[in-house]
Amino acid sequence: MPSSIKKILVLVLFPLTFSSQHICDTDKFNENFIENNPKHYQTIENQIQDYLSFNPKSSQTITIPIVFHVVWINRIQNIPDSVIYQQVEVLNSIFSAKNSDTINLTDTLKNWVGNFNIKFELAHRDPYGYPTKGINRKKTISPHFSYWNDPVKKSHYGIAPWPTNRYLNVWICDLTENSMGYAQFPGGPEETDGIVIDWQSVGNQIYPWTSSDLHEWAKGKVLVHEIGHWLNLFHPWGNTYSGCGEDYIPETPHQKGPIYPEANCPDTLFSECQDSGRLFIKHYMDYAGSSCMVCFTKNQVLRGLASLHTYRSELINSYQSQTIASGFDNTKIYPTYAEEKFYIEFPEYLGSIDILIYNLQGQLEKKLTIVDKWFFIVYIQDLSPGVYVVSIIHNEKPVFNKKILH
């Protein structure tokens, strides 16, 4: 293709303003925190790359408890439970690579498809140990919400998050203007961790209340996209408004900006970034619309799992602890930064308890058993420096997890 035609095509695909399109506000939401903590986020990236250097591969299914907070002002925004159940079905189909729309990929592209092997299950215990269906509802006084100041996560206007090391929190509300949703990258403040999506994007189909300009995104894939961000996947143009940034994914060439819904999802689009050739637009981290967004790539999966095992590791075993009584909620493990030892306090005498210490590769480094103690000292001077996950086991089930730095 002549270069002049390529440039014309690129200008059509990558408009200079996004104001007329529906967008993801994840970059804007995380911008200030990243700018104010550059060393922190560089450390996160370094640890993810270190984890990836081990080239970990696991077929084990990871179950993540998810809770939906529905915040509404008009009755129609208070979407029924059935729509949320349909949304969870979409997540579990896609994050296990069982979605049927990958049939439209060429044989070459099918080899790029990755499988997270993640199952999302609606929480069945709340933070206090009481039964729940994993769906909260609140009528608000705010007509709209946005990423700015994040009010939907505050109890005055919205719903405060459940412990973010035990649940994936998803807020459903009416977002302002053209925002479809936003997510917090790993490593940000615990009190704002989670995902916010517009109420019209939830479910697995186009509903009577779905705005016509949302039809391209209204089949459950907005939340899929935002969970990708929550797992530290970036847009293919990187975290920069000028485009051609780094997303750390080999299968997705550098892009100048987002690709909006394209008829027939062509494989013949090109970017104007210096080192890029033909674009791959059929993954979930672009804006190409539901019909084009059909997979995560293998390297997107590896990066997402690396983030999960490093900065969201406590969630991996949190599902099993949901069946346990709330007596363990007040367990304390301290200090978080431990040189030679750390301490465990239980709220009461709880019989026989196993203490398991795992490294970030999931390997068991240390196991201790205690009986009828409410206070215990764990010595770790024999462990190599690094981040570890302390898992408390009672009646052969994980009941409490805490990450420490040695």
- Catalytic residues, which ones? 226
Type of residue numbered 49: Q
Spatial separation of the C-alpha atoms in residues 245 and 235, rounded to whole Å: 9
Say how many residues make up the chain. Answer: 406
Spatial separation of the C-alpha atoms in residues 362 and 191, rounded to whole Å: 26
Q: How many CA atoms lie within 13 A of 378 on its CB side?
A: 29
From 221, 249, 390, 366, select the one nearest 307 (Cα to Cα).
Answer: 249
Q: Determine phi and psi for 63, rounding to 5 degrees.
A: -105, 125
- DSSP H helices, 152-236, are 221-230
From 231, 229, 232, 273, select the one nearest 252 (Cα to Cα).
Answer: 273
Which residues, 6+ apart, have CB-to-CB distance to 40 below 8 Å? 187
Spatial separation of the C-alpha atoms in residues 75 and 357, rounded to whole Å: 48
Find out whether 180 and 172 touch, Cβ atoms under 8 Å: no
Which residues, 6+ apart, have CB-to-CB distance to 89 below 8 Å? 204
From 266, 289, 270, select the one nearest 279 (Cα to Cα).
Answer: 270
E strands in 153-230 = 168-173, 179-183, 195-198
Spatial separation of the C-alpha atoms in residues 177 and 146, rounded to whole Å: 9
Type of residue numbered 48: I
Which DSSP helix (H) or strand (E) runs through 3?
Answer: helix 3-13
314: helix, strand or coil: helix
Q: Counting beta carbons within 10 angstroms of the beta carbon of residue 384, is it exposed (0 to 12), middle (13 to 18) or buried (19 or more)? A: exposed
Spatial separation of the C-alpha atoms in residues 41 and 225, rounded to whole Å: 21
Q: Which two tokens stand for residue 314?
A: 């406590």
For strands 62-72 and 135-139, give the pairing: parallel
Spatial separation of the C-alpha atoms in residues 336 and 406, rounded to whole Å: 8
